[in-house]
Amino acid sequence: MINRKNIYLIALVIMVFGMLLASCDNGPTEVPGTFTITGIPQEYNGKYASLVFIGGESNVVGANWNSTDGFTNVPISGNSVSIPLWVVGRRYNGNEIRNLTVLIQASSSSASETLAIRRFNSITFKNGGATMNWSDGSAL
């Protein structure tokens, strides 16, 4: 006969087993809502990046966001940049294949001089995150 104590013990075992499964490491994952570019030429360190992609599930803006300044370009450092992705006031979390265009600009202002434009095609986003190397894109 199962008594109340045994039911609690069974429930505890099931809960612990579920927590163990949920915490398993499935290898490296992308940072949600972020597009990272590595291998950027050194000449762009200290410059800024932003992006936009239109179509698919939604239009997405890639830039820093704060309520005071709105969208600002993201600084490039150490030959890489991780650009936060936004869609209608929230972080992008799509699971889709997209094409996008990255702007490299002189300052954090989106109105600053554009130094380079890079096109990336067929990027697979998982939970809104993806990583590409500069050499995976093409100059426009």
Q: In whole angstroms, give the CA distance from residue 35 to residue 64.
A: 12
In this predicted model, what pLDDT tens digit does every residue of 71-95 receive, in sequence order? 999 999 999 999 999 988 789 999 9
Q: In whole angstroms, give the CA distance from residue 104 to residue 77.
A: 12
Tokens describing residue 7 = 């039911």
Contacts of 7 by beta carbon, 8 Å cutoff, 6+ apart = none
pTM, rounded to two decimals: 0.75
Spell out, as residue ranges, where the chain has pLDDT lower than 70.
1-30, 56-57
Report pLDDT for 53: 84
Report pLDDT for 28: 38
Report pLDDT for 110: 84
- Architecture of the CATH domain 34-139: Sandwich (2.60)
Residue type at position 108: S
